[in-house]
Chain A
Amino acid sequence: MAGNHPFSLRALALMSLFAVAAPGPAAGADAYRETYPSAAIDPSRGIAGAGDAGFGSTLQYWQDEKSLEHHRQWIGDPEHEWKLNWKFLDFDRSDDMHPGYLALEAGEKLFKLWAKREPAFRTCLGEGKTDLKGLAATYPKYDPKLKRIMTVESRVEHCAQTALWETFKQGSPANNQISLYFKSLSARAPIRVDTGSAEIMASYRRGEKLFYAKVGQFNFSCASCHTSTGLLGQRFRGQVPTTPFGDAAHFPTYRLALGDIESLQQRFMRCNMQARTKALPPGDPAYTDLEVFYTVLSNDYPVSVPSAR
């Protein structure tokens, strides 16, 4: 049937393209947005929310090493593997033979080089302290002096600017390497984003709204893929979207598909682009809000950097 009317079909396709294109530029920042139905999240529960049906109820399979060990027969099984939230890749710590460690070595070298040349770089990262252990597990956090929310990456950018007079833009190799090293100094420390802070919670609420906002050519929200009423656990383009809970713990990660370090916000960019949405630059306030939202959903889960995915 359709084959008989190639011309009119093409005309129709063209017309619909115009219909999509026309309101684009004129609509501006306050464009009407549809919202994906939201599943309730209690931010004070941290990763515990991953046990809820709206997010796949997978917590029981990956919450700790024992649960992962118990379900290790699922590794490589396309029906079940997604339930492990890829966390089994973190617990293979018997040796340091994944390329996340190469990235870490590069980051450590770069950090030590700069910190030796200019000790203020270290104390800036440490907010006055020289010992950086455990600090990154509390990010993102509100900085009352700078009056803004800082992520690990924006702290590195800020300190490079003020202490070194260098530009380590977020998403650049230098920023990613140093951020990865900084975060690795909190390896195994439970993530503790301060949900008692009014500024953090305001950012969390904005991030939550973004998570459900439909955007782009496909009119997809993050939730369209990363919740159970959406595609969570369904095969999709050869991949299976997993729960948003616990994700922030292993970033920045060495992404095997890219052969490079990927920050959490660079992952947001990739998800946006895959859903044909214009990605924002790393460090954009909207991505910072999303990162706050995501990291609160990883609260109580141990940092696992370096990692490879």
Chain B
Amino acid sequence: MTAVLSECPDVRPDPDDPTAHLTTEDIENIGKELDALREEVIASRGERDAAYIRRVIDVQRKLELGSRGVLLFSLFPPAWVLGTAGLSVAKILENMEIGHNVMHGQWDWMRDPKIHSTSWEWDNVSPSDQWKRAHNEMHHNYTNVIGKDGDLGYGLMRVSPDQPWSPFFLGQPLWNFINACFFEFGIAAYDLELRDSLTDGRYKTPEFRERANRVLRKIRRQATKDYVVHPLLSGPSALQTLSANFVANLVRNLWTHSVIMCGHFPYGVDTFEKSSIEGETRGQWYLRQMLGSANISGSPLMHLMTGNLSHQIEHHLFPDLPSNRYAEIAPRVRDLFERYQLNYVTGPLPKQVASAWRKIVLLSLPNDAAERVDRALTLFQRGPSQWVARLAGRIRTA
């Protein structure tokens, strides 16, 4: 864990390595503490947790059914608004708190074949097995390792000053926005390794064809449901239902994209070089997860709607523990960070989203230009707050 590349000189005393003050023993002790915490949660998993996930699934299904029912009358604007809002929330719950977490195997211990990582299929165009491979094996193992973790910029963007710049990246704010709008397709293409397969000729192999066909089949099923069957069922409200389903998918895409961006892109999150993870110990692996993730602060509802990815740090430490437990262990994880003087990156959603977008905009420029813009932006940002402070001071003295 030597060559950590920090991008946020203002949060830490040593900009080159936020772990420089830790001894090898410290790191192994962190590992042991986290292993013990993990065992504690595993030993106490039980009826309460099972009831939780069943309830979320039940509520999600009723919400989806109810919203689609309302949308049968989407000709009436209030029905359209209500149904679209409900369906958006249902789709978000389905993808985040349910799909993502079930496919992580968080609920496999229940041995319920209906709620199991090997049998779950989600409301998303990427088939579950392809997503599981790309996400669980690559992203979670190689979290924030440049060149290994495809989630790091999805191969489209430059998210660390240590990635070389090219003019292509000038467009990355736009790429990121487009990716956000059609995020499920971005995920599918990424899980399929579409870009690499097109450049290295793998697209000709029967194996790739087979996987691509399965993605196409899934897209067809998903599109048929949202854009043909349900509109047809709505009769005179067909067009309105079609638009409602489109909007719900868009809202879900924008929301999940924002939440996921907050997990690894905000300032204060570290990226790692390939060489730094060779021969990594358990403690070092944990440490990389701790420094490579960021949380979102907020209410229980916020945590639910983010699929508890608002506890990205806890999730990355223990990807297969039940999501309802992350909030419970978060104070103890945070305490561990503090005891070892590590930076627990967290903040409200708008702040984290802005932070991630700021990085994406800045890194679209070469490093020296990015630094100049960064300084200008910081001055501009301080402007209003200093002004408010001065005003407040004047009121008090008056």
- The answer to whether A and B come from one shared complex is no
